[in-house]
Amino acid sequence: MPKSATPGQHPVHLSARERILQGSFYTPARYVQLVGEWLREHGLAKNCVVLDPSCGYGAFFALTDMFPQNLFIGNDIDQTAVSQATADFPLVKFFCQNTLCNVRREMYGIAEDTKLIVVGNPPYNDTTSQYQGKLKQTTKPLMDADVKSRDLGLSSLLAYSKLKADYVAILHPLAYLLKKTNFQAAGAFFTNYQLLHHVVFSSQEFAGTSKAAGFPVIVGFYERHPNCGLGYDDVRQMTFTTVEGNSFSLSQFRYVSEFIRKYPSRSCTSGGILFYTLRDINALRRSRTFLNKPTTNAVQVVPEQLPYYCYIDCFKDYIDKVPYYLGNFDIPIDLKQFDRCRDAVVAVSQWKHSEVFGVRPKPPAKAFQTVRELVLSTILQIA
């Protein structure tokens, strides 16, 4: 492979802002290799078209040496990236178009009866960053109505399904599977594809990403099974494996969100205890818990539910112990243990937040120890 197209390389021609707007974070070499192994394992070594519809510098074309009997096609909306890739991979056929507009095989000159494998790493953004969130609002890429979504990556999945790709071997945020709203938004993809292989890794492996909080990314090998793909319940039951060798499943635990209100309600009355909107573990890393002033993100605490909110507040104190791959999970709770520790949890949390609950006597050291053991043992059970 030419030196200039090292997988995982930074798109050097783009500023940090442009990288975020275009979702230009290129794939690390080891995941390109892994995809190659999966293609080989499934006998996809000849008479196939391998398409990367958003190829950047062409990290996935490192596979051309491994599969000389397949035809490789690259495309990107970024002309400079396409020029670089064209210089590095003369055997690959390139296009420079918006992959989400007028989506059909014809746009790449691929016949309807050709076995098509989509590979790559579609553009997606780290929605965990408010800075990046603001930047993204300024871009509104054109896309077909049937691939439209609020996220370029989810739209890309819809486009792969619209192309009727036989296999899709791509990287995408694990949140596309785990979060029901995302899963439903890309429903036309997931209902048609089964996940044959996968591995989960941290977004921090991408060169040039924020070192603050990694989010889980999955590299998955999907096979087309029209109307016999994945349902959300399959995802809930699925055991995911990380590159470090850990495994986890959504269904392995109970979550505190089952017992409280997560989002602000329209019928909110004034007064009462307020808590910041609850999303997932990664959001809690950055958000506040109890609030002493009303905001649009404030949830009014139902008094009987206060111990659960106090539990979330105490959980946040140990959140650095939660591994990156659980970042999209709701806050887990071990109900049996929690019931035994309720009083300590409430006492510690209320003492920490005198601005909300008024000044209270400091709870005994034993209460702090009980809370610590409760939270850490819960984290240990899921991690």
Q: What mask of x and - would describe binding to ligand SAM in positions 151 to 190, judged by CB under 6 A?
A: -x--------------------------------------
Residues 6+ apart with CB under 8 A from 267: none
The one segment of 98-106, 301-309, 349-357, 374-382 that binds ligand SAM by CB under 6 A: 98-106
Whose Cβ is closer to ligand SAM: residue 56's or residue 363's? 56
Task: Give dist(CA 32, CA 7) in Å, integer.
Answer: 8
Site for ligand SAM in 66-95 (CB under 6 A): 76-78, 81
Does position 123 bind ligand SAM by CB under 6 A?
yes
Check: CB of residue 121 under 8 Å from CB of residue 99: no
Task: Give dist(CA 291, CA 268) in Å, integer.
Answer: 15
Residue 159 Cβ vs ligand SAM, minimum distance, rounded to whole Å: 9
- Pick from 34, 55, 178, 235 the residue near ligand SAM by CB under 6 A: 55
Whose Cβ is closer to ligand SAM: residue 28's or residue 264's? 28
- Pick from 38, 52, 273, 374 the residue near ligand SAM by CB under 6 A: 52
Residue 366 Cβ vs ligand SAM, minimum distance, rounded to whole Å: 50
- Pick from 5, 20, 25, 274 the residue near ligand SAM by CB under 6 A: 25
Nearest Cα residue to 215 out of 139, 156, 132: 132
User: CB count, 10 Å around CB of 49?
Assistant: 21
Residue 217 Cβ vs ligand SAM, minimum distance, rounded to whole Å: 10
In the chain the beta strands, taken as DSSP E runs, fall at 46-52, 69-75, 93-95, 115-120, 167-173, 193-202, 216-224, 240-241, 247-248, 254-255, 274-276, 290-291, 298-300, 332-333
Does position 125 bind ligand SAM by CB under 6 A?
no
- Residue 103: both structure tokens together: 């989506």
- Classify 41 as helix, strand or coil: helix
The one segment of 50-58, 130-138, 249-257, 280-288 that binds ligand SAM by CB under 6 A: 50-58
Does position 23 bind ligand SAM by CB under 6 A?
yes
Task: Give dist(CA 383, CA 380) in Å, integer.
Answer: 5
- Residue 215: both structure tokens together: 């989010």
> Footprint of ligand SAM on this chain (CB under 6 A)?
22-27, 52, 54-56, 59-60, 76-78, 81, 98-100, 120-121, 123, 141, 152
